[in-house]
Amino acid sequence: MSSKATGLKGVVLDETRIALIDGDEGKLVYRGYNIHDLAPHASFEEVCYLLLCGSLPDGGQLSAFDAQLRASRAIPQPVIEIIERLKAAHPMDVLRTAVSATVALDESSDDATIEVALPAGIRLIAQAATIVAAMHRLRNGLEPVAPRDDLGHAANFLYMMFGHEPSVEDAKIIDLDLVLHAEHSSNASTFAARVAAGTAADIGSAIVAAIATLKGPLHGGAAEAVQKTVEEIGDPDRAVEYIKDKIEAGEKVMGFGHRVYKNEDPRGQELKGIARDLGHKRGNDRWFQILQQVETAMEPYRAKGIYPNVDFYAGAVYSLLGIPEEQFIPMFVVGRMPGWVAHVLEQYEDNVLIRPLLEYTGPRHLRYKPIAER
């Protein structure tokens, strides 16, 4: 009889040098650097390099890496046509299919080696942003906007979404948001990527598996659910009552709780200040006030280790920047790409097939009956 860990709770899968999460302390560290140190200082491009290559780049390394990202931004015309055909579907279905098509059209990525997967992963980090922006444009009856190579990753993403160059402040907020989402150890989608890579599948297949896994409301879908909750509550004075009803009905409050953090999620702390300041600047303090009231109503559950997670304030930030709810999970993909790529590379480095057991609890000694006798 095997010892069971439902949901793989508390199971250590392997070693990693990419990220450390201390769930009791509420601490997140990328390659040795605390997220609170990286957030105000490092750009998304620097963090990508850090995650993929293992150390912070010097000036020359960063320019070369950034040039590689900028040169990879365009997506093939057939991918744009696929997005156009599927545009009304769930954006994560469109994104998963578009990334899959991009990989299928990239003949040089189909080899499960670090030499092939590193440049292919860099291309996918760049192209994911272009695909998400094209999805948004086509869904709204607009022409996709071609990437510019004179803008940073975050600024170019907003430019492709909205068709005009963003303010420095807005680009900085998206840059920070991408840094905060870049990596989170063996979360469900990264685990899925590692499982695919563990079969010696190519990096594209691993990334598609990760995107598919991120779609669910218990993982990537929570920010969208939080924003819907905020709109449903509508008035800060209604928040406490609303949460009380939810809890009494045995429902989970979206944007709260985490498999690993049993203390404050440090990414949520960073986004909280941004949601407050941005709301104030845009003349919309209401969403932040509602979120604060929800947080207050959830305070008694802190004793159980239930705190706001990264998704709690992310939705308000996106909405204030004009990013629609259906694009929240795709935004998460744009941010998480370097983490997924780094884990696929680490998996290839010392590969082993990932294959846990299931404890069988069904019947054992049934005998086949011909169909006429059933």
What positions carry a catalytic annotation?
219, 258, 311
Q: Which of 144, 255, 338, 339 binds ligand ACO (CB under 6 A)?
A: 255
Q: How far is the CB of 289 from ligand ACO (least distance, A)?
A: 20
User: Based on CB atoms, which residue is closest to ligand ACO, 6 or 140?
Assistant: 6
Residue 102 neighbours by CB under 8 Å, 6+ apart: 75, 76, 79, 124, 127, 131, 204
Task: Report DSSP letters for 163-219, one per residue.
Answer: SSPPPHHHHHHHHHHHHHHS--TT-HHHHHHHHHHHTT--HHHHHHHHHHHHTSTTT
Q: Does 257 bind ligand ACO (CB under 6 A)?
A: yes
* Amino acid symbol at 203: I
CA angle, corner 67, sides to 64 and 70, nearest 5? 155
Quote the least distance from Cβ 5 to ligand ACO, whole Å. 12
The 10 Å CB-count burial string (b at 16+, else e) for 55-93 is ebbeeeebeebbebbbebbebeeebbebbeebbeeebbe
Stretch that binds ligand ACO, among 91-99, 109-117, 305-313, 337-345 (CB under 6 A): 305-313
* Contact string (CB under 6 A) for ligand ACO, positions 85-124, x = contact: ----------------------------------------
The encoded tokens of residue 111 equal 């080899």
Applying CB under 6 A, among 74, 105, 146, 218 the residue interacting with ligand ACO is 218
Say which DSSP state 33 is in. E
Q: Which of the stretches 93-101, 201-209, 255-263, 345-353 binds ligand ACO when contact is defined by CB under 6 A?
A: 255-263
Told to check if 219 binds ligand ACO by CB under 6 A, we report: yes
Check residue 132 for interaction with ligand ACO (CB under 6 A). no
368 token code pair: 């086949």
Nearer to ligand ACO, 162 or 256 (CB): 256
Q: CA–CA separation, 95 vs 77, rounded Å?
A: 15
Write the binding mask 223 to 252 for ligand ACO: x where contact by CB under 6 A, - elsewhere: -----------------------------x
193 and 209 Cβ atoms separated by less than 8 Å: yes
Closer residue to ligand ACO in complex, CB, 88/303: 303
Instruction: Give me the residue label for tokens 């947080």.
Output: 295
Residues 54-73 that bind ligand ACO (CB under 6 A): none
**Half-sphere exposure (Cβ direction) of 102: Cα atoms closer than 13 Å:** 29
258 binds ligand ACO (CB under 6 A): yes
- Based on the shown chain and the rule CB under 6 A, indicate whether residue 256 belongs to the binding site for ligand ACO: yes
Q: Return the bridge partners of 305, or none.
A: none
Using CB under 6 A, which of the segments 131-139, 229-237, 257-265, 350-358 binds ligand ACO?
257-265
Does 345 bind ligand ACO (CB under 6 A)? Our answer is no
309 scored as a contact of ligand ACO (CB under 6 A): yes
Measured CA to CA, the distance from residue 344 to residue 28 in angstroms comes to 20
**254 touches ligand ACO by CB under 6 A:** yes
From 35, 132, 145, 253, residue interacting with ligand ACO (rule: CB under 6 A) = 253
**Alpha-carbon distance 139 to 83, whole Å?**
9
Q: Applying CB under 6 A, does 306 fall inside the site for ligand ACO? A: yes
**By the criterion CB under 6 A, which residues form the site for ligand ACO?**
7, 218-219, 222, 252-259, 304, 306, 309-311
